[in-house]
A = this chain, B = another copy of it.
Amino acid sequence: MNNSTFTLEMKVRDYECDMQGVVNNAIYQNYLEHTRHEALLSLGESFNDWTEKKIFPMVAKAEIEYKTPLKSGDKFNSELFIERNGARYLFHQKIFRKNDNKLCINAIIHIIVVQNGKLTRGDEFAKVLSPFIHDKD
C-alpha cells in the first residue's frame, strides 16, 4: 500500500470560471485543498478531527505552476503523493484534464504541523498519511 498515489475525480462548475471563461487561478487552491482533505478521509481521518486534537497541519508555502487552463464542464483528475523532508511535508499535487490527460496544474504544497502553538515533527500526522508518503530516492 505504500508509495501509492491518491486520485480524486472532479468536474469544473460554471461559477468557478471567471470573465476569461476559464477556471480562476485561486479556485485551483480550493481543488488542491479538497484533494488533501479527501486523501486524509480515505485513510479514515478528517481534517476536523485533527483540529479537535489541537494538531494543526498548515500550509507554509504553495508553489503552483499553471500549465493548461480548465474550462466550464471539464472533468479532471487531481492526484497527490507526499514526500517528507524533516518537519516539512511536501504534497506533490498534479491536476490532469480527463479527456486528453493534459497536465493543467503542477504544484508542491509545503505542510507543517503545529501543536500547542509550536512547530512539531508531525510524527502522528506522518503515521496516518504513510500510505501516500514516498521515499526519497
Contacts and interface: CB of A to CB of B under 8 A. Distances in A.
Contacts of A56: 20
A65 B72 contact: no
Interface stretch (A43-51, A76-84, A124-132): A43-51
Interface stretch (A10-18, A89-97, A115-123): A10-18
A18 B27 contact: no
Contacts of A41: 73
A51 B15 contact: no
Given A14-B18, A14-B37, A34-B13, A72 B59 contact: no
A30 interface: yes
A1 interface: no
B20 A18 contact: no
A3 interface: no
A9 interface: no
A29 interface: yes
A56 B73 CA distance: 18
Counting from the closest, the 6 A-B pairs by CB-CB distance are: A26-B29, A13-B34, A62-B64, A17-B19, A26-B26, A61-B65
Interface of A: 13-15, 17-21, 24-27, 29-30, 33-34, 37, 41, 46-48, 51, 56, 58-66, 72-73
